[in-house]
Amino acid sequence: MLGLLIASTVGILAAVFAWIFILPIAKFIGAGASLNLLNFTVSYLKVIAVAIPFSLYSMTLYNQLRLCGNAKSINGRNAFRYAYKYAS
């Protein structure tokens, strides 16, 4: 439970810092070549910044389930859900 709390806290902090420094990050990865490219990169990085806490939480939960030995049941359900989603 502590790991999930830490992952949520770190994820939220990382998302806030990514949101604050989104323009320097975009320029650092090479989006400063043109204004149009910079605008598209910033809008895309905003979506990624919002997803950071959920991604960290998901990875932490999966690893804790693996530690408990319940990963097969979770993987089986996810595989079935994705197979059903793409089949229909």
What is the Cα–Cα distance from 62 to 33, expressed in whole angstroms?
39
Look at residue 47 in the predicted model and tell me its pLDDT: 94
For residue 54, the one-letter residue type is F
Name the pLDDT band for 11 (thresholds 50, 70, 90). very high
Look at residue 4 in the predicted model and tell me its pLDDT: 84
Q: What secondary structure does DSSP assign to the chain, as a single string?
A: -HHHHHHHHHHHHHHHHHHHTHHHHHHHTTGGG-HHHHHHHHHHHHHHHHHHHHHHHHHHHHHHHHHHT-HHHHHHHHHHHHHHHHH-
* Residue with tokens 């097969």, as numbered in its chain: 72
What's the whole-model pTM score?
0.68
pLDDT, tens digit, for every residue of 51-78? 999 999 888 888 887 777 655 555 556 6
pLDDT, tens digit, for every residue of 16-40? 999 999 999 999 999 888 999 999 9
